[in-house]
Structure formats: C-alpha cells, structure tokens
A and B are shown apart, each in its own frame.
Chain A
C-alpha cells in the first residue's frame, strides 16, 4: 500500500472520504456555447483568495493609525523586500475582483441561472457583491492619502442623505461626525475582520448551494437539449474543468504580476485633514456610474432634494435587482423578456455612465 493509498484509507475511516470523492467525481459542468461564462465564479473566488493572502502579508507591516498609516504603506513600498509587489497585487486584484464579480453577476442574470430553485444562490451572490464593494470602499481609505480621505468623505456623505436614519448611518460609518483617524480605525476593523467574517460565511453558503443544485443551463440551451437529447454534453468537473480553471488562474497570476511590475499602485500624498479638497476628487471606477448620476441630477426635483432622489432611486433599483428571482415567471413570455430588457438597460447604463464620468469634467 503506497503512502497515498494509506492516507486515503485513514481519511475514509474517519471522514467517509470515499463518499466525498464520489460526490466530487459526480459533479459535472454542462457544455454549450455559453460555458465559458462558468469560469467567472471560480475566478472571483480565486481573486478573493489572493486578496486574503496578500492582505495577511500586508497586515504584517501596516499600521492603522492616522499618524502612521501613510508612512507604513510607504515603508512597504520602499523598504520591505517585494513589498511593492504584494501591495500592488493587492490593489490590482481588488479592482479585478470587483470586475469579475460584477461580470459573474451579469452573466448569471442573462443566462437566467437565478431561476427556481436557485433563488437563494442569487441572493447570497448579490450579498457577496455588496460585500466586495464594501471591501473596496473600506480598503480604499487605508493608505490614508489625499484622494482616499476625500473620496471617503464624499462617499459617506451619500448615505448620510437618507432621511431619518441617514445621520446615524453616517456617524456609524465615520466613527464621528467627520472623517478622522477614528474613521480609519473603524474602516480597518470592517476591512480585516467584519467583512471577511461575513464574506467567508456567505461564500461557504454560496458554494454549498451551487453544489446542491448543480450548474444551471440557460433556457435556450435547455429547450434545445429537450428536443435533441443527444446534443447534450457534460464535462467532469474534476479533473477536467478544474484543470482548465487552473489555466485561467495562472493567466490571472501573470496579469497581476505584469500589472504590479509595470504599473505599480501609487502612494499619493499624505492626507491633510485641514486642507481643502483638491479638485478632481472622485471615487474608484466601480462607484463612478453612481457618482456621475448624482452629479448630473439637478439640485431640486420638484420638492425633493436632487441628490436624495438619486440615492433613493439607486437604493430601490438595487433592492428590485436583488429580488429579481421572485419576479421572474420562470417561463418565457413578456415578463421575462421585460426583465431581460431591464438587464440590458442596467448594464448599458452602468457602462455608459462609467465611461462618461471619466470624460466629463
């Protein structure tokens, strides 16, 4: 009996290894013209793991106080061996992860994978998307440079507009009335403890649900396969699909390495809380479409404050979007086509607004 076999028997006697293995070998991935989209979920997970690993490494040197945060990042970038690499990978991977998470969401939407029985998978996924945005927003403040402090100020002003509870939300987020060192401490806590804890649970739930229900097949393909069952093809997840995912992950590593070495993340200038806001303050690209919308709204719409109306509309839109599976009738028809149409509109709106925000003054 070789070592591998001995290990397998040891695990089997305690954890039912052969049952686990049977389940893993059971899992298949449908093969059709949209199958490439299946990579996005795993890619997001991979990038999340990269974030956790580089994040832990950064924790070895980062200091979360207003006096030392900037200097500690500067130290990492200039003094720590390969510190520039770890930090730049962390920043770039964060942006890539937001992109893949959003792409994953839109692909799930257009391929209609959220239909019964996968509604909870969609909900947990939407929650994960919000968590990723929260990671991005809280992490952006941590280098404590001019851009991040003022972007945080603008960003936390927005939920402050919500009537009744807005003020409380603002004070809770900022750890006070203004953005100060207290905000930094709080955001650090969110970024390294609160959000990772919730995210781990959510990811666990999300993956569990995906395993439970298997991979969804888009409606069109489903129909085709019903009429021509011989056309249906499946690929074993382990090892075939996984090896392909591994290739995609290696490509992602190459991209991250290239970005870190050729376009390192900048340090900026240390934030001065007493200075006035420099021109051109704006949030990260994934918030730009909201930022641009709010900028374009008039000061007052009827009797309601323009910006408040924008915030409430976005809130309502996100809520509707999150609850979409419960609106979808599950069968083709006018309602389903309307939902798809709304999806195209949302995607186009986000894309156009994001690009416009960079061109507009």
Chain B
C-alpha cells in the first residue's frame, strides 16, 4: 500500500512541476504577443488619424462637427479631410501644432471667400476629372452671373454662397435623398433665406414664393407623386446661375416641358399682344409659383375665368373665350354621361369593358382640346372636341344597348320564372290529386 501511494505522490509532484513550467511559458508568450499588439495599434491608426475631428466632434456649435455626418459626406467618402478647406495638421493632437500657421491653417473662412475657395478644385477640370469626369466645372463662372454672385461681388455677404445651399460639412451629391440639393429638398433649401422675413428685409422682393410653391401642382408632383422630373426652384431659376428668368424668357422656360402649349401660344394672337404689353407669357394666367391644376372654369367668361381680366363683353376675345368654354363643357358632359351609363350597366352585371376603354380615347381628345385653347383659336379647339364627341356618341350607344340587353335578360328571366312557378303549382296539385286517389302510398311496411 505505501508503495502505491509513493508512486502516486511522485506522479502528482512531477505533473505539478511540469504544469507549473508550462503555465509560466504560456504566460510569458501571452504578455509578449499582447505588447506587440498594443504597440501596433497606434500605427494602425496613423493613416486615418484626424485630430481635427477628434476634438471638434466633442465641441458644441458653432465649433462642433457631427462626426457621422461628415464621414458620410462626399468629400470624406473620396478620402479627403478638413485640411482641403481649412488647412492645418490633422496628425497632431497638440492644438498649437494642429492649428499653426506653419501647417497652413486657415481657420474660419470668410463668406466672401467661400466661392473662390470651392472653385480652387471645382473649376479645375483636370483635377475634377480624376474624381468624376462628367461633373461640371463651370459652377463658379455661372455663380458670378447670378443675382447672388453679382451682389457678393459688390460686397453684400448676406447673399447665398456655396455652403448655404450645399451645407458646410454635410455635402452630398444631388442624387442622394439626404442632400440639401436633392430635387425634393431644393425648395426647402432656398426657402431657408427666401422665406425668412427678417433675413430678406433689406431686399425689396416678396417672401411668399415657397408658401405659394407648396400649394402648386409641381410641388405635389415632386413630393407626393415622386416624379423627380417635376420642376423646383432651380429648374426655372437655374441653380448656380440663379436669377429670375425675366419677362421675355418666362415662356421659353415653361416650354421646355410644356412644349405643345408653348408652340400653340406662339401660333396664336396672344404672343405679339402680350409682348407688346410687356406681359410675360404663361404666368399671366397661371401665376409663377403657386401654379394650380387648371380647371375648365379658368377659360371662358364665368366665375374664375382669367380671360375676363383683359377681355370685356362685346370684344372678339370675349366671344372666343365663351365658345371655347362651351365646347369643353360639351365634351366633358358627354364623357360623364357615357361613363355613368356604362358604370350603371357594369354594376348590373353587363360586360362593358371594351366600351369603357374606348371612352378613354374621348378623354384623350378632351385633354388635347384643353391644350389647344392656348392658341386661343376656337376652330382648333372645335376639331378636337368633334373627334371626342364622335367617340362618346358610340360609347353612349353601347351603354344604351347594354341597358336594353339588361332589360331583355330580366324579362326573359321573368318569363322562365313564371313558367317554372306554373309547373310547381301544377305538380303540387297533381301530386295531391294522385295521392288522394292512390292506395298504398303510405302505410306500406318496409320490405
């Protein structure tokens, strides 16, 4: 027994000693590796070290920068940092060194200096080609022709400079939905100043543009329907070369999308008359910012008509306006009547899908007629209306025949129901008579 324990003891002691050494070796190895890692961490960071952001991300406005916002901006995405505008040394944590004159630190940039600072890169075609070959490089020269640029050159620093629209540290490309110049956001960005009563006090221009625009069809198309081709402030006024179009050019601007209306207007008598009177085309009737969806009431001589702003009873224009209005109303009513009868037939179960689709052609004619009124020539409008009425005549007929067919079916049903009721009564009587005369109808025991 003692022998066994002694051997056991020996084994345990031996193992303990071995374990002890192994543990020591492991511990040493661990410390060694860990130190290496610790030492390399700073060097790993060295390339992306941005001492500017390290401090300024912890400060409050106006010196504070939101780190996440800046890092997702376009300049940061392209690998640039604060120094491209502000200079300085981002590798140093020492405030004195980081923001020293020697390191090229510019600090706060004066508003008047901002456009030329941005232009240093953005007007350099060769430089910009290295990032986005198709990006334009004429923004600065355009800016100089704009209202903002002209006033800035005269010393007015109140006006918009690059960073007012594009922001300072959150610059994103225009197709980024979070960008301040994403089409849906543009009006909001302009309104920042242009709708601010105090800010705009020194300029003698209205401040209701944004309020009016927010009620317009274009705003609705952009923000509700999501049609990014719908116009916003910059579409008509220009972006970098922003300026009101001027009386003579308004119509050209609208005609870039509303081509037909522009052409028709030019072919009609209004073109020369308006320009002689110094009236801009389009906006005289439709207004510029608060453009509403036009209605048939706008043309004619009734309530809400724009024609009576100039025309009075007895003149040729007054008569023409009345004629055009009546024509539109005629076709509109015809379409409604057809639609009503076809819907009634459909509700009652008749198949009128084909006729309903054909009615859409008449609606097309009405839309075309509504465009043709811009020529203010009743004969041209009449052409479209006549084509539309031809369609509604045939769809009305189809509606009538559908209702007639419905009547026929119901009458047919009545006839067969009457016949069936006849039979039911007759059968009932027949059975009764048969069974009263029968023996052994009931009381037969089951076999």
Contacts and interface: CB of A to CB of B under 8 A. Distances in A.
B422 to A, nearest CB: 10
Interface residues of B, number: 30
Interface in B389-447: 409-410, 412-413, 416-417, 420-421, 423-424, 427-428, 430-431, 434-435, 438, 440-447
B445 A243 contact: no
Contact of B431 (A244, A253, A258): A244
Chain A contact surface mostly:
helix
B130 interface: no
A30 B349 contact: no
A234 B446 contact: yes
A247 B432 CA distance: 13
Contacts of B417: 254, 257-258
A247 B424 contact: yes
Contacts, number: 77
B349 A262 contact: yes
B244 interface: no
Contact of A28 (B410, B421, B423, B446): B446
Given A30-B446, A78-B351, A240 B413 contact: no
Contacts of B441: 235-236, 240
Nearest to A269: B353
A258 B430 contact: no
Contacts of A240: 431, 434-435, 438, 441
A136 B443 CA distance: 43
B351 A26 contact: no
Interface residues of A, number: 34
A239 B412 CA distance: 31
B410 A261 contact: yes
B446 A250 contact: no
Interface string A156-172: 00000000000000000
B351 A74 contact: yes
Interface of B: 349-351, 353-354, 409-410, 412-413, 416-417, 420-421, 423-424, 427-428, 430-431, 434-435, 438, 440-447
Interface of A: 26, 28, 30-31, 74, 77-78, 84-85, 214, 229, 232-236, 239-240, 243-244, 246-247, 250-251, 253-254, 257-258, 261-264, 266-267
28 contacts: A28-B447, A74-B351, A85-B409, A232-B445, A233-B442, A233-B443, A234-B442, A234-B443, A234-B446, A235-B441, A235-B442, A236-B440, A240-B431, A240-B441, A243-B431, A243-B434, A244-B431, A250-B423, A250-B427, A251-B420, A253-B420, A257-B413, A257-B420, A261-B410, A261-B413, A262-B349, A263-B349, A266-B349
